[in-house]
RNA sequence: GGGCAAUUAGCUCAGGGGUAGAGCGUUUCGUUCACAUCGAAAAGGUCGCAGGUUCAAAUCCUGCAUUGCCCACCA
């Protein structure tokens, strides 16, 4: 081993693992299957620190299961269809999707992905992830298209997928329907305008609104049924300013009498409540907004203006007419499209939906069969399911996605679904295999594509589809683990459970493990706009992947962590310490091999450390089985630093340096050192795969049979090696050493300063006397004497007193 | 407004009825013999507040406060 630890060794082992296919899924092995539904990252340029963080957690778990002998199925995938890719491609090539032909844009997407994907995946290899990269999927590949279309058709035949003209959330910037989950909140400055409406008969009412541009869409006015102020208005008609239509005043409990004037206008559609009123009160439909975010002919003289322009113009006109009596600047929270920040509109459109609102209770019930780590995260899922108000709109008016395998008959408009044998199919480029039941052979293709989540909700099926053997496929599903971060519980996790319920009436995985986020040192989210983004590749080139991984493993499951470069130093120290400790051990194991391991002549310190090692192994397994990698890391760190390095190595040194040590004692020390170091390496291997591999290869490989430490088995807890009595007795020796160290430290002496005489008073004289030579050499003491002490004593513990003569 | 979580040392966080813990930071001391990218040691806390249960509460229960997240509200 080299004297200096170097992070260059990481690249070497990454190549080795790839070349030797160390992480290859080997279903022939007779063992329990452990299948991971790896999150496919969106190809969006670079990996961010949150990725490095949560994928480390996943990898630790996968490596752990591999090292307890399980058959680990750990595929990799990239999510590269849909809007994010389109945005990336537009940016990367400096083009605008609306100025391009559909086919040209799609091929540009394919070309760009082909260029960026390998570089993107390399980031994952750089953190040492142990996926089987022979099992890699892309959500836009032909195979996945076939599979996604097949499952769409399944839903269609189950009467779960339907086409309808319904109010949908709409992004006027991206010009596509979006789902509830695509929304995020944004604080937006706006005006709350009080508008005067004349009543048909006599009098007037004041309505407060932030959306005066929707006056032309006003179809009713609502007051609260218990609002005494307005009781007399109910069922009367009011005249909408500027546009002059007469609308009924109705009552509804959803009105908040405290808000504005307590009178609210209902437009089709200003918000979700409007949609509910539209259905509940069977109101007419009046749409004023075009899909591109401009006003349509219904808004008369405002036609062609953008929404915000129209809003301003209408306010001006209302003011001129004296109809706008108060304008108040407010900042309020509105729903915007997560991808582009545009305020979401509600338009009526022909879209494809998955009907699932009737299954809300079932989604909650089936989830109870899944184990959540941490358990409290389950509530977020349940909360989301309970709050669902819309069926899942799965069509998007985009180019780069998986097409619907659907046509419509030109003559009778009937839906024509593709046949399974012709999948994957793009209805724009091909035709149905048979004619319509009405006899017509002419069809109009569906131009929309499937929502990204409609495909990524099938990742268990996509991943398992990479395996061709039927028996093995069955063993892989339901999968063992879905690991992911908490931000997409409402999307990816929920949709996957929903699909699994709809298609198979089964849970998709047995367990869910939720990671947190990496925040900046102030506890704020990292974002490009704030300029506080930390790139993991920069951390890796500075400290190495093992350091980053060791740091990432200190987080509690589900908890966010703050990035603080100071804290990564603790991890760096651990790696260097491991390097140096290994160097010391190996220099004393040169003439040793595993055939010489012999536990017959163990000294008490050997039994003591082996006993603590067993406790460590026990706690390590106990915690990792519960996905508590943080605690397992603590357990092994503690053993390594406190017991192995600080005490055992110091105590054992004389057995290598002193020439008058017996061969048997030296052999015992070497045996223990061999076992200890190998155990420490293995226990650390899931956390720090590179350095542990380097040390393993440089010595242990010769004697152990596995060609990589990552294919070896972790030590199992062996009750026989626990030795509570020796452990307890020897702890007194450690206490004694500590007390002498403390004495020297307080006096300002070097720890190596020679001490003339140590006087010990103890009831257990014999037990201590046995270790006199050890104490003398570790603490550099000339004489040890046992007698009663009358003054100047130091209490070591309740049993032992000492006095020191320099 | 509903839900979830957090509140412990200067900082980041463990612990979960019986003596208050770690790492970082601070201070002091110490290097030929694995490691100064190190070691030894010290200082440092009414465990958010108020009640209750108990022989005993940081820990369990109730309420409150503060912070964060998810959802709802968006007229």
Contact, A556 CB vs strand B, < 7 Å: yes
Q: CA of A216: how far to CAs of A267, A292, A318, in Å?
A: 8, 18, 13
Provide the phi-psi class of A128: left if phi over 0, else alpha when psi is between -120 and 50, else beta: left
Whole-number Å distance between alpha carbons of A447 and A790: 97
Residue count of chain A, please give it. 806
Residue with tokens 């008959």: A409
**Whole-prediction pTM:** 0.91
Residue with tokens 């091929």: A107
Whole-number Å distance between alpha carbons of A385 and A364: 7
Contact, A252 CB vs strand B, < 7 Å: no
Mean pLDDT of A19-32: 93
Q: Which residues contact A715 (CB under 8 A, 6 or more apart)?
A: A613, A617, A679, A682, A683
DSSP string of A627-647? T-HHHHHHHHHHIIIIIIIII
Whole-number Å distance between alpha carbons of A332 and A311: 16
Three-point CA angle A388, A392, A396, nearest 5°: 140
From the list A140, A146, A488, A131, the residue with the least C-alpha distance to A497 is: A488
pLDDT at A140: 95
Least confident of A55-69, A332-346, A376-390, A450-464: A332-346
Q: pLDDT, tens digit, for every residue of A181-226?
A: 677 777 777 888 999 999 998 889 999 998 999 999 999 999 988 8
**Displacement of CA A430 from its chain's centroid (Å):** 39
Nucleotide nearest to A570 (CA to C1'): B23
Instruction: Identify the bridge partners of residue A784 per DSSP, sorted by sequence position.
Output: A758
Query: Hey, what are A264's tokens?
Result: 């609210």
The answer to whether residue A528 scores a pLDDT higher than 80 is no
DSSP H/E element including A192: strand A183-199
Three-point CA angle A648, A653, A658, nearest 5°: 150
Chain B positions with any atom < 7 A from a protein CB = 2-5, 12-15, 23-25, 28-35, 37-42, 68-75
From the list A765, A767, A768, the residue with the least C-alpha distance to A776 is: A768
Nucleotide nearest to A650 (CA to C1'): B34
Inter-residue contact A57 to A483 (CB < 8 Å): yes
pLDDT at A414: 95
Nucleotide nearest to A381 (CA to C1'): B70
Whole-number Å distance between alpha carbons of A364 and A384: 10
Whole-number Å distance between alpha carbons of A508 and A370: 9
Whole-number Å distance between alpha carbons of A666 and A673: 10
Task: Tell me the three state secondary structure of residue A198.
Answer: strand
Whole-number Å distance between alpha carbons of A516 and A165: 39
The answer to whether residue A303 scores a pLDDT higher than 80 is yes
Whole-number Å distance between alpha carbons of A624 and A720: 22
pLDDT at A728: 86
Distance of A429 CA from B42 C1′ (whole Å): 79
Q: pLDDT, tens digit, for every residue of A749-788?
A: 888 888 999 999 988 888 899 898 888 888 889 999 999 9
Contact, A188 CB vs strand B, < 7 Å: no
Inter-residue contact A681 to A695 (CB < 8 Å): yes
Instruction: Identify the bridge partners of residue A208 per DSSP, sorted by sequence position.
Output: A194
Mean pLDDT of A456-479: 96
The answer to whether residue A175 scores a pLDDT higher than 90 is no
Q: What is the mean pLDDT of chain A?
A: 92
How many CA atoms does the CB half-sphere of A516 hold within 13 Å? 18
Q: pLDDT, tens digit, for every residue of A347-392?
A: 988 999 999 999 999 999 999 999 999 999 999 999 999 989 889 9
Q: pLDDT, tens digit, for every residue of A550-601?
A: 999 999 999 999 998 888 999 999 999 999 999 999 999 999 999 999 999 9
Whole-number Å distance between alpha carbons of A693 and A13: 7
Q: pLDDT, tens digit, for every residue of A414-431?
A: 999 999 999 999 999 999
Distance of A387 CA from B28 C1′ (whole Å): 60
Please tell me what DSSP assigns to residue A399. Answer: S
Query: Hey, what are A484's tokens?
Result: 């992911």
Q: Can you tell me which residue has its alpha carbon closest to the C1' of nucleotide B35? A: A580
Whole-number Å distance between alpha carbons of A458 and A184: 24
Q: What does residue A782 show for φ and ψ, rounded to 5 degrees?
A: -80, -55
Chain A 334-373 residues whose Cβ is under 7 Å from strand B: 334-335
The answer to whether residue A45 scores a pLDDT higher than 80 is no
Inter-residue contact A446 to A404 (CB < 8 Å): yes
Q: Which residues contact A236 (CB under 8 A, 6 or more apart)?
A: A199, A200, A201, A248, A249
Please tell me what DSSP assigns to residue A806. Answer: -
Nucleotide nearest to A491 (CA to C1'): B70
* Whole-complex ipTM: 0.95
Whole-number Å distance between alpha carbons of A798 and A614: 27
pLDDT at A276: 84
Chain A 651-680 residues whose Cβ is under 7 Å from strand B: 653, 657
Inter-residue contact A461 to A75 (CB < 8 Å): no
């Amino acid at each position: 081993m080299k004297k200096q630890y170097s992070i260059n060794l990481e690249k070497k082992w990454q190549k080795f693992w790839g070349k030797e296919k160390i992480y290859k899924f080997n279903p022939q092995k007779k063992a329990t299957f452990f299948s991971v539904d790896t999150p496919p990252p969106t190809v969006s340029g670079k990996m961010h620190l949150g990725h490095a963080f949560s994928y480390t957690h996943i990898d630790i778990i996968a490596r752990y299961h591999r090292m307890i002998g399980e058959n680990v199925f750990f595929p990799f995938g990239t999510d590269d269809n849909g809007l994010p890719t389109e945005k990336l491609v537009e940016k990367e090539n400096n083009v605008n999707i609306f100025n391009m032909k559909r086919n040209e844009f799609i091929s540009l997407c394919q070309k760009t992905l082909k260029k960026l994907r390998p570089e993107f995946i390399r980031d994952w290899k750089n953190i040492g992830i142990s996926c089987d990269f022979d099992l890699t999927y892309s959500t836009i590949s032909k195979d996945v298209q076939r599979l996604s279309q097949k499952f769409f058709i399944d839903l269609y035949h189950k009467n779960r997928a339907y086409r309808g003209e319904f109010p949908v959330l709409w992004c006027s910037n991206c010009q596509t329907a979006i789902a509830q989950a695509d929304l995020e909140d944004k604080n937006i400055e706006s005006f709350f305008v009080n508008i005067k409406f004349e009543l048909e008969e006599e009098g007037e009412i004041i309505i407060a609104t932030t959306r005066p541009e929707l006056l032309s869409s006003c179809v009713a006015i609502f007051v609260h049924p218990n609002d005494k102020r307005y009781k007399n208005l109910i069922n009367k008609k009011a005249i909408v300013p500027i546009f002059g239509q007469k609308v009924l005043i109705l009552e509804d409990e959803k009105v908040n009498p405290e808000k504005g004037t307590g009178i609210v206008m209902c437009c089709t559609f200003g918000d979700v409540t409007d949609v509910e009123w539209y259905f509940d009160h069977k109101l007419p439909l009046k749409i004023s907004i075009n899909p591109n975010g401009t006003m349509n002919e219904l808004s008369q003289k405002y036609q062609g203006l953008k929404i915000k322009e129209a809003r301003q113009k209408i306010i001006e006109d209302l003011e001129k007419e004296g109809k706008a009596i108060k304008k108040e600047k407010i900042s309020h929270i509105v729903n915007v499209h997560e991808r582009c920040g545009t305020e979401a509109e509600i338009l009526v459109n022909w879209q494809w939906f998955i009907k699932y609102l009737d299954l809300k209770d079932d989604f909650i019930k089936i989830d109870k069969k899944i184990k959540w780590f941490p358990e409290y995260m389950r509530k977020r899922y349940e909360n989301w399911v309970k709050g669902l108000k819309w069926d899942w709109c799965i069509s998007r008016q985009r180019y780069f996605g998986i097409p619907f395998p659907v046509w419509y008959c030109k003559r009778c408009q009937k839906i024509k679904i593709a046949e399974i044998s012709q999948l994957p199919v793009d209805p724009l480029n091909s035709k149905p295999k048979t004619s319509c039941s009405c006899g017509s052979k002419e069809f109009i293709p569906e131009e929309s594509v499937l929502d990204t989540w409609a495909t990524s909700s099938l990742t268990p099926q996509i991943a398992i589809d990479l395996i061709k053997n039927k028996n093995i496929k069955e063993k892989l599903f339901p999968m063992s683990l879905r690991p992911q971060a908490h931000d997409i519980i409402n999307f990816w996790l929920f949709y996957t459970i929903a699909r699994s319920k709809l298609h198979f009436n089964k849970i998709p995985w047995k367990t869910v493990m939720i990671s947190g986020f990496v925040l900046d040192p102030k506890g704020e989210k990292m974002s490009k706009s704030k300029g506080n983004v930390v790139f993991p590749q920069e951390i890796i080139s500075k400290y190495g992947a093992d350091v980053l991984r060791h740091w990432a493993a200190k987080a509690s499951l589900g908890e966010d962590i703050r990035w603080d470069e100071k804290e990564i130093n603790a991890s760096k120290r651990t790696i260097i310490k491991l390097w140096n400790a290994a160097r010391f051990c190996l220099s004393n194991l040169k003439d040793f091999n595993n055939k010489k391991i012999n536990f017959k002549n163990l000294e008490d310190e050997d039994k003591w450390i082996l006993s603590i090692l067993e406790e460590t192994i026990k706690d390590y397994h106990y915690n990792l089985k519960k996905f508590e990698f943080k605690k397992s890391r603590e357990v092994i760190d503690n053993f390594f630093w406190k017991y192995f390095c600080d005490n055992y190595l110091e105590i054992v040194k004389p057995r290598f340096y002193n020439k008058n040590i017996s061969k048997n004692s030296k052999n015992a020390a070497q045996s223990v050192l061999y076992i200890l170091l190998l155990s420490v390496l293995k226990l650390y291997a899931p956390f720090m795969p590179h350095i542990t591999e380097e040390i393993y290869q440089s010595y242990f490989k010769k004697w152990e049979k596995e060609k990589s430490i990552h294919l070896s088995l972790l030590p199992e807890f062996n009750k026989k090696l626990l030795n509570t009595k020796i452990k307890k007795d020897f702890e007194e020796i450690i206490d004694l050493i500590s007390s002498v160290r403390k004495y020297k430290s307080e006096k300002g002496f070097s720890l190596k300063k020679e001490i003339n005489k140590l006087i010990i008073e103890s009831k257990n004289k014999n037990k201590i006397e046995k270790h006199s030579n050890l104490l003398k050499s570790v603490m550099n003491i000339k004489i040890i004497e046992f007698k009663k002490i009358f003054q100047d004593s130091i209490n070591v513990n309740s049993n032992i007193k000492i006095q020191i003569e320099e």
